[in-house]
């Protein structure tokens, strides 16, 4: 573990939607120093000048910081040991690889490396143990000069809202298949993203590559590590993804197909969700991470929840707002159970996911 000095960091792609959520979370973080900001097109402008999250305040500590145009070499030379990446996929691939090669540890929201079987794709509560793909922490801590960088990715935004409530049920329900229909917020497409004329009074039943990501990423996250790579869980996930005109918060209508012989009560399912505390159960493995919510899955008993407007910022303590997934409208029938899930796509399903990954890596000694 670290000596307590905040780790110098860089935020790649600070002018985008996810980048700006990163900036909120990192402006005043106990493990990481306020990040250097990069942005190709907006270099020279301050964070305040490029701020797009209209309903959230610009973080005071970074408001006047100017975005820079930095190469991987420059980042490494400036001693920025951790990079948070909100780059678009086409830029993220080579940049992140180059940063890792130069000894920088990358926590990325980009999809470029997510399905590389040697790159951890991590939702800490679910598969924090996948970090062992990075090797033994101790050896890494031994000498700065031999330190190698690595890449750890968070999941796609819609995947996060699926695996978090499904993971606690795997043992109880042994599902055979998952059907999911999504109601995805505008910010999932970034800024400028979806034209107002395309989505006003409308729905767009297509998000490129999204359905495939929900399927393959879920398998990988729920898989197990062996022989230096991830072996995905075999669980068919069939998704139907739709863009809707909400700002933030992805709603998902989830159906699990169960073994026909299974008998389960709603109470057992609710109990599995409410007692799900994988991080706090093992503090040494991550308990008490600053951005981890006390309860990662919150069950709402009301007849009309969860809703984006009411539930997207779920999560305590204050630093973990937007990191909890809210579930509700649970119904159990012979052979199936179904429910709704609501998660903040840009926090739990984006910037917050990678910040939590970085906190876990920090606590486990991978940044030592």
Interface positions with its own copies (CB under 8 A): 17, 52, 54-55, 177, 179, 181, 183, 186-187, 191-206, 236, 238, 240, 242, 244-247, 251, 253, 255, 257, 303-310, 328-329, 331, 333, 335-336, 338, 340
* The Cα angle at residue 291 between residues 289 and 292, in degrees rounded to 5: 65
Spot the catalytic one: 157, 231, 241, 344. 157
Nearest distance from residue 184's CB to its own copies, in Å?
10
Pick the closest to residue 160 from 137, 134, 130, 180 (CA basis): 180
How many CA atoms lie within 13 Å of 46's alpha carbon, on the beta-carbon side?
10
Active site residue 113: no
Nearest distance from residue 334's CB to its own copies, in Å?
8
What are the residues whose beta carbons fall under 8 Å from the beta carbon of 264, sequence distance 6 or more?
Answer: 172, 173, 258, 332, 337
CA dihedral 118→119→125→126, nearest 10 degrees, is -50
Distance of alpha carbon 4 from alpha carbon 30, whole angstroms: 8
Beta bridge partners of 332: 337
Residue 255 or 354: the one with the smaller Cβ distance to its own copies is 255
Active site residue 241: no
Tell me how far CA of residue 91 lies from CA of 5, 39, 296, in angstroms.
31, 11, 32
What are the residues whose beta carbons fall under 8 Å from the beta carbon of 121, sequence distance 6 or more?
Answer: 114, 115, 127, 130, 153, 154, 155, 217, 220, 221, 230
Nearest distance from residue 71's CB to its own copies, in Å?
30
Beta bridge partners of 341: 252, 327
Backbone angles phi, psi at 247, to 5 degrees: -75, -55
Residue 181 or 225: the one with the smaller Cβ distance to its own copies is 181
Distance of alpha carbon 161 from alpha carbon 46, whole angstroms: 33
Distance of alpha carbon 266 from alpha carbon 268, whole angstroms: 5
H or E element, residue 182: strand 177-183
Residue 255 or 357: the one with the smaller Cβ distance to its own copies is 255
Whether a cis peptide bond, with omega within 30° of 0, leads into 46 is no
Residue 236 or 288: the one with the smaller Cβ distance to its own copies is 236
Distance of alpha carbon 289 from alpha carbon 214, whole angstroms: 26
Residue 21 or 363: the one with the smaller Cβ distance to its own copies is 21
Residue 119 or 346: the one with the smaller Cβ distance to its own copies is 346
Q: What amino acid positions are annotated as catalytic residues?
A: 157, 250
């Amino acid at each position: 573990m670290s000596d307590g000095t905040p780790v110098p960091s860089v935020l790649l792609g600070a002018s985008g939607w996810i980048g700006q959520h990163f900036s909120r979370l990192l402006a005043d973080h106990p493990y990481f120093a306020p990040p250097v900001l990069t942005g190709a097109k907006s270099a020279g402008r301050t964070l305040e000048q490029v701020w797009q999250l209209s309903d959230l305040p610009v973080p005071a500590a970074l408001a006047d910081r100017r975005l820079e145009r930095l190469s991987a070499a420059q980042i490494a030379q400036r001693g920025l040991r951790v990079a948070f990446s909100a780059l678009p996929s086409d830029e993220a691939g080579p940049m992140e690889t180059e940063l890792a090669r130069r000894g920088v540890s990358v926590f990325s929201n980009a999809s470029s490396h997510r399905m590389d079987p040697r790159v951890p794709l991590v939702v800490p509560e679910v598969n924090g143990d996948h970090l062992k793909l990075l090797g033994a922490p101790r050896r890494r801590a031994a000498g700065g000069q031999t330190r190698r960088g690595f890449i750890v990715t968070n999941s796609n935004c819609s995947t996060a809202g699926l695996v978090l409530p499904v993971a606690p049920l795997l043992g109880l329900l042994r599902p055979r298949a998952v059907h999911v229909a999504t109601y995805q917020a505008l910010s999932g497409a970034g800024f400028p993203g979806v034209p107002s004329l395309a989505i006003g009074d409308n729905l767009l039943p297509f998000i490129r590559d999204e359905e495939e990501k929900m399927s393959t990423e879920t398998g990988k996250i729920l898989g197990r590590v062996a022989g230096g790579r991830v072996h995905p869980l075999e669980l068919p996930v069939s998704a139907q993804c739709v863009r809707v005109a909400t700002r933030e918060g992805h709603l998902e209508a989830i159906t699990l197909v169960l073994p026909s012989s299974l008998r389960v009560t709603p109470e057992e399912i609710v109990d599995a969700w409410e007692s799900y505390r994988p991080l706090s159960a093992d503090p040494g493995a991550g308990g008490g991470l600053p951005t981890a919510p006390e309860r990662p899955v919150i069950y709402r008993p009301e007849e009309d929840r969860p809703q984006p407007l009411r539930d997207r910022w779920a999560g305590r303590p204050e630093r973990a707002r937007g990191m909890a997934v809210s579930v509700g409208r649970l119904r159990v029938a012979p052979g199936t159970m179904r429910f709704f899930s609501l998660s903040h796509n840009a926090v739990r399903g984006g910037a917050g996911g990678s910040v939590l990954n970085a906190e876990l890596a920090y606590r486990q000694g991978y940044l030592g």
